[in-house]
Amino acid sequence: MGYLNLLRGAIVLLVAACLPVLAQTSRNAFVVSGDDDTFLALREAARRDDAVAVALLADRLPNFAIPSYVDYYRLKVRLRDASPTEIRAFLARYDGTAIGDRLRNDWLLELGRTRNWAGFDEQYPLFALNDDTQVKCYALLSRALKGQPAADDARNLLTLTQNYGEACPALIITLLQNGQFTVNDVWAQLRLAAEAGNTGVARRIVLLAEVPENLLMQAIERPDPLLARGVGAGRGAHEAFIIALGRSARTNPQFAANALQNAAEQLSGAERALGWAQIALQAATKLSPDAMQYWRRAQGAPLSLEAYQWQVRSALRAGDWKFIRTAIESMPPALKSDPAWIYWYGRALQAEGRAQDAQLYFQSIGALHGFYGQLALEELGQKIVLPARAAAVTPEELAPMVQNQGFRRAMKFFDLNLRFEGYREWNWELRRMNERQHLAAAEFARQNNLLDRMVNTSDRTQVAVDFTQRYPSPYADIMRANALPLGLDVAWVYGLIRQESRFIMNARSHVGASGLMQLMPATASFVARKIGMEGFTQGQVNDIPVNIRLGANYLKMVLADLDGSQAMATAAYNAGPGRPRAWRATLPRQVEGAIFAESIPFAETRGYVKNVLSNATYYAALFDNQPQSLKARLGTVAPKGFVASELP
């Protein structure tokens, strides 16, 4: 193995030294033509954990523009073997920087993995971002091993099993062993893991529940045969049966409901409620009309955070305001304080004739910028207008931004198309700034044509606001030339672009969508054919006029296909036209556009629709200089059968 690593490193060095330009021919080949490309090769070698190649490439960058990252990659691949003295020297050298905090994150994970609690406890209070679930689990594990209380914090933390890694199952095991967790907590975690399909977490903690691993794995992976056999004896068999109900309901809620009804006499009341809750969640995300009857049977069952929210969404579709009120009241405090549920709680109170109480809830979020703040404002009898613009940024306020070293590093990374690293550096600097400084940083971004950073930075202010920064409208002539002849609402198109790409001209999504309007290759080709664009090639997708022309035409197509509903057309632009047609077909009645948006099954599309239409409302206020209505823009959505369409 050592010989192979040495050979690989020698090849990298030979390529870097002898070939100024090497065409990329495979996923692991690099274009090497200078320090920038050598740095990109270094980054890739570090990602592959290739210590030999990292050392060789790092040696070729003695004068790189961002030496801290060269040093970081050099140390990162040797973190398990590096001495504490060497690591502390790096942290001291880059104290207060984003990459210093990143290495501390990496080291904390290693200290936790090796159970070096003295080192961990020393470093953890210095971890500024503290945004790593595994590090937080190690911190609670350290406390638990010292006999300190950790159970309540652990229950609040352990809600999304995909972020657990090795640390969080170890925490669960320790809390059970020292009596801070009970077997009920273990089963709650197993149900969460099953709900997410996370068999890795389930396997790590299954033995704590005193149930055979193969039984639990069958419940997760092959639930129907287990349900057909019925409920076995003992708690483990009952819990496995309940988990199997949820897993089976992912494909056929009615089959799972029949299995639960057949086994009802063998289960306790609490177990039956838990089983119905498992089925209800899956039925709800499928927008099944039966979801509400399942939720009613599930009352009193412990729920996941997703389940708490989906029982409200089911009730919104059904128009059951009393159920909405009681379901929101049952939410954990942190979830209940989300603006979405504050708004819908106010609506429920309003529906019950408690108008004055409802107004208090709307007032509590009416000043917030965004979807539910706008809707709350309309419930208070007001329209959406732009807030007063903050005083212009002065040259004295702008000067420190020009000199800010973190921003300089970010801009270098953006030049290299390393947006993740660029965002890390940029956002790190914003942590220490007040609102006026945020406006100055946003103005600095504007002057350097970093419109996405301008938008995101300006979005952070609450009192001193500048909506010309938050809602830019570049390429206005191109936009009007393409949107107006199609009868498209220009504010809506800009609202969509703001959400899609934040005006990054060469934006490319993880699924291959490109450009300002994030067009998939097949969609771009389809639209080009439809509008008679001769000679179109995929290389044109990032050309701004072409991207806007294709995107505007596609938006017009989906809008016409979905009866002129901006809510449904926005969903179609993100998830494909077939899905909103299917979602509409499941509606039991005509609903507000806000209810349609809130009950979209895909989390990404749900947030997308709300953000786009909120954006569009602000853009309309900017363009028209008139009060606007988000409710009018959302309209209503009525049930309708599937409509054949050739749209992809």
- pLDDT tens digits along 515-558: 889 999 999 999 999 999 988 998 888 899 999 999 999 999 99
pLDDT at site 514: 78
pLDDT digits (tens, 9 = 90+) for 569-583: 999 999 999 999 999
User: Chain-wide mean pLDDT for the chain?
Assistant: 93
Residue 587 has pLDDT above 50, yes or no: yes
Token pair recorded at residue 241: 């049966």
Give the burial class of 172: count Cβ atoms within 10 A of its Cβ; 0-12 exposed, 13-18 middle, 19 or more buried.
buried
- DSSP label at 80? T
Query: Which percentage of the chain shows pLDDT scores above 90?
Result: 89
Mean pLDDT, residues 262-272: 96
Q: How far is CA 125 from the centre of its chain?
A: 27
* 2, pLDDT greater than 80: no
pLDDT at 359 over 90: yes
Stretch 303-324: mean pLDDT, rounded?
Answer: 98
What single-letter amino acid sits at 364? Answer: S
Tokens coding 272:
């039956």
In the prediction, which pLDDT does 509 show? 67
Find residue 384's DSSP bridge partners: 628
CB 46 within 8 A of CB 58: no
Residues 403-458: pLDDT tens digits?
A: 999 999 999 999 999 999 999 999 999 999 999 999 999 999 999 999 999 999 99
Question: How many C-beta atoms lie closer than 10 Å to residue 63's C-beta?
Answer: 7
Residue for token pair 């652990």? 154
Q: Is the pLDDT of residue 28 over 70?
A: no
Please list, in sequence order, all residues whose beta carbon lies within 8 angstroms of the beta carbon of residue 608, skipping any fewer than 6 positions away: 499, 570, 571, 574
Alpha carbon of 495 to those of 499, 506, 572, 603: distances in Å?
7, 18, 15, 19
CB atoms within 10 A of CB 253: 25
Residue 552: which of 473, 600, 482 has the closest Cα?
A: 482
Is the model's pLDDT at 159 over the cut of 80?
Answer: yes
pLDDT for res 511: 67
pLDDT score at 644: 41
Residue 508: Cβ-neighbour burial (10 angstroms; 0-12, 13-18, 19+):
middle
One-character DSSP codes across 361-380: HHHHHTTS-SHHHHHHHHHT
Name the pLDDT band for 512 (thresholds 50, 70, 90). confident
Residue 607 and residue 613 in contact, taking contact as beta carbons nearer than 8 Å: no
Amino acid 1: pLDDT: 40
Q: Is the pLDDT of residue 12 over 90?
A: no
Query: At residue 508, what are phi and psi to the nearest 5 degrees?
Result: -140, 125
281 pLDDT band, cuts 50/70/90, is very high
Percent over 70 (pLDDT), the chain = 93
Alpha helix positions (H), 330-475:
333-336, 339-351, 355-365, 371-379, 395-403, 405-415, 419-430, 435-447, 451-458, 467-470
| pLDDT score at 505 | 77
Name the helix (H) or strand (E) containing 636: strand 636-637
What does the pLDDT look like over 84-135, one tens digit per residue?
Answer: 999 999 999 999 999 999 999 999 999 999 999 999 999 999 999 999 999 9
What tokens appear for 168 in the block? Answer: 């969080």
**Span 478-501, average pLDDT:** 97
Query: Higher confidence at residue 292 or residue 34?
Result: 292
Which of 396, 500, 534, 592 is flagged as catalytic?
Answer: 500
**120 half-sphere exposure, CB direction, 13 A CA radius:** 22
- For the CA atoms of the chain, what is the radius of gyration? 27
Residue 628 pairs in a beta bridge with 384
Question: In the Cβ-directed half-sphere of 284, how many Cα atoms lie within 13 Å?
Answer: 28
| CA 502 vs CA 351, 403, 538: distances in Å | 38, 25, 21
Residue type, 565: S
List of long-range contacts for 597-603, beta carbons under 8 Å, 24+ apart: 597/371, 597/567, 597/571, 597/634, 598/313, 598/316, 598/340, 598/344, 599/287, 599/313, 599/314, 599/316, 599/317, 600/571, 600/575, 601/285, 601/286, 601/287, 602/575
523 touches 554 (CB < 8 A): yes
Poorest-confidence range of 229-243, 495-509, 527-541? Answer: 495-509
Query: DSSP 3-state assignment of 164?
Result: coil
Active site residue 429: no
Among 17-26, 75-84, 207-216, 257-266, the range scoring the smallest mean pLDDT is 17-26
Please determine, for residue 5, whether its predicted confidence score (pLDDT) is greater than 90: no
| Topology annotation, domain 476-637 | Lysozyme (1.10.530)
Six token digits for residue 175: 């809390």
Range 395-465 has CATH code 1.10.1240: yes
**pLDDT tens per residue across span 42-95:** 999 999 999 999 999 999 999 999 999 999 999 999 999 999 999 999 999 999
pLDDT at 585 over 60: yes
For the chain, which residues make up each domain, given as ranges?
Answer: 2-126, 133-318, 395-465, 476-637
